[in-house]
Structure 1
Amino acid sequence: MSTGEERRSIFISGGASGIGRATARYFGERGWFVGIGDVNETGMEDTLGLIPGGFKYAHKLDVRDREAWDTALEAFATAAGGRIDVLVNNAGIGTGGPLAELEKDEIDRCLDINLKGVLWGAQAAYPHLKKTAPGSVLVNIASAAGITGGSGMSVYSAAKFAVRGIAESLDAEWAPDGIKVNSICPSFIETPLLDGTGNRNSNEPVRARVRAAGLEITPVEEVAETIWEAVHGDKMHYLVGKTARQINFAKRWMPGKVRKQQRNAAALLGK
């Protein structure tokens, strides 16, 4: 990419850490103009420091704020020479625990960030992606929890099932405009989310529960590589990690067995 006109651009929400940071670095190393948005300004500065060259941009963004999305994308498009080729709806939080024990504000925060934030991002990105179509892409970060629900995951799974549905709906809706839409479904990824507890009533980190269950933790770089594949490929849904692939296979071909396993696991945990 020798000129600004030829340089493609990508904007990633939740770019201060985890999947967002790894994706920003991956695309930046391959010559893209990278924009990131997050509420964590210090984290964004750290991300920018990992991206080679000068084609990078950060904008403070709370994905729950619809107007803030417009401001952030307009500013990034200007910085990137008037174009946005890809938007990655990545910002998200982990929320877990028995539904009966979750406070209203915990539920609202999860849905506002993980679900409404995706809708606002898609809505704000549409005119920019339409301008650079064909070839422009909206990538929604879903989860293996959007393939099958498990005990203590009702709110998080609700959001992630919805994120996959949004991708399917918009891929059809925007096809006449030449915009491609897809979703990424990672299993347990090595990110700071694993160090949280999921809800305020638990003292046990998610990481400990994953390891106790014997599940693998996938390097975050694999998600970034898959997002690159999704931008350049034609599939609707992309799976990341052995657990996600196993869940998807079992849910499709052995749904009764999956249900039994989930119910047995809940019984062992006392929920």
Structure 2
Amino acid sequence: MTAAPLPSTPSFRLDGQRALVTGASGGIGRAAAVALAEAGAEVVLAARRIEALREAAEALSAVGHKAHALALDVTNRDAVRAAVEAEGPFRILVNNAGTNIREPFTEVSDESFDALVDLNTRAAFAVGQAVARGMVAAGQGGAIVNVSSVNGHIAGMNRSVYTGTKHALEGFTKAWAVELAQHGIRVNAICPGFVETPLTEGILSDTAFRARESRRIPLGRILTVEDVMGAIIFLASPAAAGITGASLLIDGGLCSI
């Protein structure tokens, strides 16, 4: 009796693929760029802080990876379309640019509301649309990883607008996945909990807050960018070829409580 052939494990490598990472000057975006480059992708790091971008790109290039910096304000939709057309097409997008302004719901200002919606929602849509158009035109498929948040699933104090924008990004992820599947383009989201980044540095410097949040997390600790990097590689790679429209929680078990 002839034994059935063993299945082949899909690759986590991204050799020869071009990737765009927005918000890549620090935090999760910078870590995503490192992870993609180490997996073999050629990475374009985009953000407004050009000096930080250049530093990251030069550090990657110095160890033999292909990376370069792109100064880009993702809230400028015309600039986004022009930059993606000039730099693309891309096979991978990590749609990461975003921010948070913590304010009680009854005290949210018009300026804060507009800033969060413009960056977390409008800009994320514009970047995703521009990159997807290039992917469709190239006809080679692709992978989009939207960087959402645990607040795309649960609410948090003083985060009403942020929570709303991340719920919107979860909706974008599902809708884009359905529409783009026919083109071989997969769209998924990652949803980190509290991660040690420049964005959370201020609030996590409050030792009482840090201790309280750590106790709420089943794993018992605040996450690091390294905890997020593997998930990005997985969703961008052939190892996740059957996954689209999904939302991967990276929250230390918080949403399981």
SS in 2 for 1:121: helix
SS in 2 for 1:158: helix
1:217 paired with 2:222, answer: yes
Cα drift, residue 57 of structure 1: 1.8
Worse-matched range after superposition: 184-193 or 123-132? 123-132
Report if the CA contact (8 A) 1:134-1:178 is conserved. yes
Give, in whole Å, the separation in 2 of the partners of 1:237 and 1:42: 32
1:128 paired with 2:148, answer: no
SS in 2 for 1:35: strand
Partner of 1:143: 149
Partner of 1:176: 182
Aligned residues: CA RMSD: 1.9
SS in 2 for 1:183: strand
1:52-87: CA deviations, max 9, x gaps?
Answer: 32621211111111111112212322xxxxx31011
Counterpart AA for 1:57? H
Q: Aligned ranges for residues 81-230 of structure 1 at < 5 Å?
A: 83-196=89-202, 209-213=209-213, 214=215, 215=217, 216-230=221-235
Report if the CA contact (8 A) 2:24-2:46 is conserved. yes
Structure 1: unaligned runs, 5 residues or longer: 1-5, 78-82, 198-203, 251-271
Q: Against the structure 1 CA distance between its residues 87 and 148, is the aligned structure 2 distance closer, same or farther, given a 3 Å change threshold? A: same
Partner of 2:52: 43
Cα drift, residue 134 of structure 1: 4.6
Counterpart AA for 2:224? P
SS in 2 for 1:87: strand
Q: Against the structure 1 CA distance between its residues 182 and 206, is the aligned structure 2 distance closer, same or farther, given a 3 Å change threshold? A: farther
Cα drift, residue 131 of structure 1: 3.7
Partner of 1:241: 251
Counterpart AA for 1:27? L
Report if the CA contact (8 A) 2:190-2:247 is conserved. yes
Partner of 1:261: none
Give, in whole Å, the separation in 2 of the partners of 1:72 and 1:211: 43
Q: Aligned ranges for residues 257-268 of structure 1 at < 5 Å?
A: none
May I ask how many residue pairs the two structures share in their alignment?
A: 231
SS in 2 for 1:59: strand
Cα drift, residue 205 of structure 1: 5.4
1:88-144: CA deviations, max 9, x gaps?
Answer: 110011221202222211111011101111110111111222144454011110000
1:234-257: CA deviations, max 9, x gaps?
Answer: 331112131xx331x34xxxxxxx
Counterpart AA for 2:254? Q
Give, in whole Å, the separation in 2 of the partners of 1:246 and 1:150: 12
SS in 1 for 2:156: coil
Partner of 1:31: 40
Corresponding residue to 1:17 among 22, 26, 42: 26
Give, in whole Å, the separation in 2 of the partners of 1:114 and 1:95: 11
Q: Against the structure 1 CA distance between its residues 9 and 146, is the aligned structure 2 distance closer, same or farther, given a 3 Å change threshold? A: same
Identity of aligned residues (%): 29
Report if the CA contact (8 A) 1:194-1:206 is conserved. no
Partner of 1:200: none
TM-score (normalizing by structure 2) = 0.83
Counterpart AA for 1:219? T
Report if the CA contact (8 A) 2:148-2:191 is conserved. yes
Q: Against the structure 1 CA distance between its residues 176 and 69, is the aligned structure 2 distance closer, same or farther, given a 3 Å change threshold? A: same
SS in 2 for 1:20: helix
Bigger relative CO (Cα 8 Å, ≥ 6 apart): 2
TM-score (normalizing by structure 1) = 0.79
Report if the CA contact (8 A) 1:69-1:124 is conserved. yes
Cα drift, residue 211 of structure 1: 3.1
Counterpart AA for 2:84? L
1:72 paired with 2:96, answer: no
